[in-house]
Chains A and B, each alone.
Chain A
Amino acid sequence: MLTLKSVHSYYGSLHVLKGVSLHVRAGEIVALLGANGAGKTTTLKTISGLLKPRKGQVEFQGEDISRLSAEAIVQRGIAHVPEGRRVFSSLSVAANLELGAFARRDHQAVKSDLQEIQERFPILRERAKQPAGTLSGGEQQILAMARALMARPKLLLLDEPSMGLAPRLVKQIFAIIRHLQETGTTILLIEQNARAALKVADRGYVMETGRISLDGTAAELMDHNEVKRAYLGKGYQEVWEE
């Protein structure tokens, strides 16, 4: 469904992605792991078009999307939930959800999707008129994910959805991720919490300094010492063990 072929991306003159190749098949959850600064977020930004690769190709459903604008890529069916949730804080919860469907033209279906999402996440209905900035961190994460779902994505890019959340909320977020997979959404997931990510994922990639250093099924990676080292560096143990 999604294929990256030796992608190189830069921030100005800073060479961040140095030939990243990976693929995601339809229906999969793929985890993208790695230490801070390895280039995971940059990879997602390159896929969603916020950043243009200088070399290499991003293919989605057989089409080269590496030169398309972010707006055009959303319309192809890729929704990106950015790091730190980035809800539109002074707009209402309902307005945030509506904006998620900005690119869609099927207005009737948007309405019913909104109903459905509000039923699935009742908090978003209760707080519909409140500014999104007044929600708690976990609620904002749910809103950010729900907002992305309003685009009816075929592929969902999630950047650290559990960051800064209490364990109970982390569980809830991962339950949502699993549910999304069951309903047919393909997911590419970045997670600080590697163990939790590999529990829901089918496969995973480990990134190190702008390159993919390792890939395999979730079970393989779970047992791989290299993962622990690459992901967490020294003193990984306590985080790994939770």
Chain B
Amino acid sequence: MLLQQILNGLTAGSVYALIALGYTMIYGILGLINFAQGELYMAGAFATVLLLTAYKVNFFVAFFFGMGVAAVLGVILERIAFRPLRGGHPLVPLISAIGASIFLQSLALLLFGPADRSFPIQFEFAALEIAGVSVSTLQLAIFGAALFFMALLVAFVKYTKFGKAIMATALDQDTARLMGINVDRMIAITFFIGSALSGAAGIMMAIYYNTTYPRMGLLPGLKAFSAAVLGGVGNIPGAIVGGLLLGVAENLGAGYLSSGYKDAVAFAILIIVLLVRPKGLLGGRSH
């Protein structure tokens, strides 16, 4: 039972971590919480589902297409909803982010209707029994894919020229410009990556729960925000740790208290962290 819940928690948590990385990277570079992150998750899922419904393309093609749509949407969002507001009061872009979130949700509702869509491809997933714990290969695939994307991101930030330039921009924009770094471009790249990861998370959950609908990003988006705060906003390893911990905590809450408390656990954690350790477990960055 315990192991089972932890395992389910890690699957959900790895998805939260992917979204939380988007929050934390964008916060790191702009000092902005992009509350439309959940809608990029939804956009990734819809793009993949619609493509697979319309054309018989390879699943991986559809997967990367969904990530790409989310990424481009994120870049456009930065361009029209955040860039013109830069340099003003920090609450202004926050309001803009909430506005963008409502707009995208409503737009999806208008374009695709309120109904749930099931995932167009039915995968055959085996259920494995390991030491009394049942694991589906789907869970393993999601967990593995999420870890893969996280590793890719960490390697990008740590070892590539543009990754380092993004970190430099997050630390000190003026000095970054003195190095010849184009700050606007780094911010756009950050939105591209963060949004692609959220898109990937959305696609995985669209498969896991076999449903895609306009408001699907709301709850995971808020939970991933909690996860980012838990780990320390602006801190990349923090987002990963926070996501995994949050996923495990809410599944333990669901398993040992009542499944009705599942969502409450995530937000209780958010409130407790803000009260007790506002910088998060691994320490965030102040802006």
Q: Which residues of A contact B (CB under 8 A)?
A: 48-50, 69-71, 74-75, 79-80, 82, 86, 88-91, 95, 98-100, 102-103, 147-148, 151
**Interfacial chain B residues near A71, Cβ < 8 Å:** 177, 180-182
Q: A71-B180, A74-B180 are in contact. Are A102 and B174 (CB under 8 A)?
A: no
B273 in contact (CB, < 8 A): no
**What residues of chain A lie closer than 8 Å to B172, measured between beta carbons?**
86, 88
Q: Which residues of B have CB within 8 Å of A75?
A: 180
A50-B167 in contact (CB<8A): no
10 A-B contact pairs sorted by A residue (CB < 8 Å): A49-B177, A50-B174, A74-B180, A86-B172, A88-B171, A88-B175, A98-B161, A99-B176, A103-B179, A103-B180
Q: In whole angstroms, how far apart are the Cα atoms of A102 and B186 in the complex?
A: 13
Contact B175 A86 (CB under 8 A): yes
The A-contacting residues of B in range 176-208, CB under 8 angstroms, are 176-182
Given A50-B174, A88-B171, verify A95-B164 contact (CB < 8 Å).
yes
A91, B164: Cβ atoms closer than 8 Å:
yes
Q: A95 vs B157: C-alpha distance in the bound complex, in angstroms?
A: 11
How many residue pairs link A and B with beta carbons under 8 A? The number is: 61
Closest CB pairs A-B (n = 5): A103-B180, A74-B180, A70-B177, A86-B175, A102-B179
Interface flags, B10-52, vs A, CB<8A=1, else 0:
0000000000000000000000000000000000000000000
Asked if A102 contacts B171 (CB within 8 A), the reply is: no
B180 touches A102 (CB 8 A): yes
Q: How many angstroms from the CA of A173 to the CA of B174 in the assembled complex?
A: 24
| A215 to B175 CA separation, bound complex (whole angstroms) | 30
Cβ–Cβ contact A88 & B167, under 8 A: yes
Given the known interface contacts A98-B161, A102-B161, the answer about A82 and B178 at a Cβ–Cβ threshold of 8 Å is: yes
Contacting pair B179 A99 (CB below 8 A): yes
The answer to whether A98 and B164 touch across the interface, beta carbons within 8 angstroms, is yes
Give the chain A neighbours of B180 by CB distance below 8 A. 70-71, 74-75, 102-103, 151
Which A residues are CB-close (under 8 A) to B179? 74, 99-100, 102-103, 147, 151
B146 at the interface (CB under 8 A from A): no
Flag if A99 contacts B164 (CB, 8 Å): yes
- Which single residue of chain B is at the shortest CB-CB distance from A79? B178
Q: How far apart are A219's CB and chain B's nearest CB, in angstroms?
A: 32
Nearest chain B CB to A80 CB, angstrom units = 5
Given A99-B164, A102-B161: A74 and B178 within 8 A (CB)? yes
Q: How many residues of B contact A (CB 8 A)?
A: 16
Q: Which of A50, A70, A74, A82 has the most CB of B within 10 A?
A: A70
Minimum distance in angstroms from A48 CB to a CB of chain B: 6
Question: Inside 8 A of A50's CB, which chain B residues have their CB?
Answer: 174, 177-178
Contact B178 A89 (CB under 8 A): no
Residue B75 at the chain A interface, CB threshold 8 Å: no
Q: Are B175 and A102 in contact (CB under 8 A)?
A: no
Q: Indicate whether B239 reaches chain A with its CB closer than 8 angstroms.
A: no
CA distance A75 to B179 in the complex (A): 9
Does B178 lie within 8 Å of A80, measured CB to CB?
A: yes
A48–B168 contact, CB under 8 A? no
Bound Cα distance from A29 to B196, whole angstroms: 49
A49 to B178, CA, bound (A): 8
Contact residues in A for B171 (Cβ distance below 8 Å): 88-91
Shortest A8–chain B CB gap in Å is: 21
CB distance from B162 to the nearest CB of A (A): 9
Given the complex of chains A and B, what is the CA–CA distance between A79 and B180 in angstroms? 9
A102 partner residues in chain B, CB cutoff 8 A: 161, 165, 179-181
Q: Which residue of B lies closest to A90 (CB)?
A: B171
Given A50-B177, A88-B168, 17 other A-B residues pairs in contact with their CB atoms under 8 A: A49-B177, A50-B178, A74-B178, A82-B174, A86-B174, A88-B171, A88-B175, A90-B167, A90-B171, A91-B167, A91-B168, A98-B161, A99-B165, A99-B168, A100-B179, A102-B165, A102-B179
Chain A residues with Cβ under 8 A from B182's Cβ? 69, 71
Which residues of chain B have C-beta atoms less than 8 A from A147's C-beta?
179
- By beta carbon, the residue of chain A nearest B159 is A95
Contact partners of A151 in chain B: CB under 8 A? 179-180
Q: How far apart are B159's CB and chain A's nearest CB, in angstroms?
A: 10
Q: Which residues of B contact A91 (CB under 8 A)?
A: 164, 167-168, 171
Q: Which residue of B lies closest to A82 (CB)?
A: B175
Q: How far is the CA of A79 from the CA of B181 in the complex (A)?
A: 13
Contacting residues, chain B, for A82 (C-beta < 8 A): 174-175, 178
